[in-house]
A and B are shown apart, each in its own frame.
Chain A
Amino acid sequence: MEFPRITNNCCVEIDFRQKNCGRQRIGGDVFLSRKLKEQRRVISVLSDGLGSGVKAGVLATLTSVMGLNYMSSFRDPAKAARSIMDTLPVCSERHISYSTFSMVDVDFENEVRIVEYDNPPVLVARGSEIIALERQQVQVNRTDKEPVSISLADFQAVPGDRIIMLSDGVSQSGIGSRALPFGWGIEKAGAYIRSQIEKQADISACELAAAIVDKAWYNNGGRALDDITCGVIYFRQPRQLLIMTGPPYDLKKDRLLADLVKSFPGRKIICGGTTANIVARETGREVHVMLGKIDPELPPDSIMEGVDLITEGILTVGLVARYLEDRRDPETLNQNAATKVLRMLLNSDIINFVVGTRVNEFHQDPNMPVELEIRRNVIKKIAALLENQYLKETSIQYI
């Protein structure tokens, strides 16, 4: 069985963490990313709206969505910046229209373009060193308003690089405190990022973003005085995951599943009792069901040599689809088979599904107390969510 080839052996992992100012339920910072699959490009925008709460949220959302659209359709960042600034509504209290942004555009050869306006500078870490970018200032003329200057930079990313985007809630955290009278500052934040990477060389995008946001929160004495946001783009060796679910339609293909367990270069999950039995039979290995800790929502998971996780089939994948749809964080959920699958999905870059299409007729019995969906449809939904919402690469093969 063939899986999609990985281009230049490097993939881009993007994640962000955020804390809203004070007790605001709506953030005034917005971080958005979009993958343009056909062009193999990824664009991320961090925008900080004036103030905090709803009004700031609207400004920042408008800015980041426009930023994404302009960056994906046009190559001229100055034009994009001008249109954004001309469009923003004027604040009724402060009589200015304002939101700051940083936009990062990564193309298929890992060429990076950065456009910034008034946000703290985007940091680039190569290994654990922060590298200095050459920035070019460009003047943007606006209708009826003073011209402003935006900064442009580009560089060639290599595996191991990280791009860190911060809102001023991070760089100004701790301001006025005894320890940091002038705030944390970009230098000290950079030093903190270095220390985090030195401590854990393969720290993931979400872990690093969480560490930075938590530190800024701590600098403020456990409060968010402004919206605190950090987005991280990490270029790294892709992590591959294989999910086998469902018995093959053709019995002769049972053997294929066993071969995959032995040969696949990455982590492996089996979702489905029968599928697990087939692999056990064909490889001569034993499956052990973990009856210890049980979440009443789902059947327990099992273990087998050479497979990272074995779960029940349709109920588990159904719940995984729901978790993905609701953007749930596996750390805040009841620990069960579905949260384990979720965690492995989020920690992988390329997810290959091998879906057996044989149907257990009993599942279609109208007396079943719950509706059991067709496996193929649920997997299609999961793959689409992973591609569009989580920017993962996926493949589905039916057997």
Chain B
Amino acid sequence: MSKKFKITICSGTACYVLGGAQLMMLEDLLPAELRDEVEIVGSTCLQACRRGDNAQPPFVKINDELIESASIARIVDYLRRH
């Protein structure tokens, strides 16, 4: 059975040093009610920092939507809204 959300966390250099390191622990920090609805995978690099549109790392992708300046709070907020 596929989950409602697929979260892809970028573990590239820029994302990692700008806060992505904390996102690696997302699975442990998600509220219990969301935990069963998400699948978490890593990406070697989402290439989002190379687009040159001033979007700020760290990046995650939730399903197909790219989220910039991602934090645990922002991800949880997004999941609750959708």
Give chain A's interface secondary structure class: loop
Inter-chain contact B47/A274, CB cutoff 8 Å: yes
Residues of A with C-beta under 8 A to B21 = 296, 299
Residues of B with C-beta under 8 A to A368 = 14, 17-18
- Name A7-47 residues within 8 Å CB distance of B: none
Q: Which residue of B13, B45, B49 has the most chain A CB atoms within 10 A of its CB atom?
A: B13
Residue of B nearest to A302 (CB): B44
Give chain B's interface secondary structure class: mixed
Interface size on B, residues (CB 8 A): 25
**Closest-CB distance, A363 to chain B (whole angstroms):** 6
Using an 8 Å CB-CB cutoff, how does the interface string of A359-374 with B read, 1 for contact, 0 for none? 0111101001110100
Measured in the bound complex, the distance between the Cα atoms of B55 and A93 in whole Å is 73
Inter-chain contact A312/B40, CB cutoff 8 Å: no
7 contacts between A and B (CB under 8 A): A277-B45, A287-B43, A289-B9, A291-B41, A298-B16, A312-B12, A360-B50
Q: Interface on A for B, CB 8 Å cutoff? A: 272-274, 276-277, 287-291, 294, 296, 298-300, 302, 310, 312-315, 360-363, 365, 368-370, 372
Measured in the bound complex, the distance between the Cα atoms of B50 and A310 in whole Å is 21
Q: Assuming A277-B44, A294-B25, A368-B17, what are 5 further A-B pairs, CB within 8 angstroms? A: A274-B47, A276-B45, A287-B44, A289-B42, A312-B11
Using an 8 Å CB-CB cutoff, how does the interface string of B11-38 with A read, 1 for contact, 0 for none? 1111011101100110100000000000
Inter-chain contact B11/A372, CB cutoff 8 Å: no
Measured in the bound complex, the distance between the Cα atoms of B74 and A6 in whole Å is 55
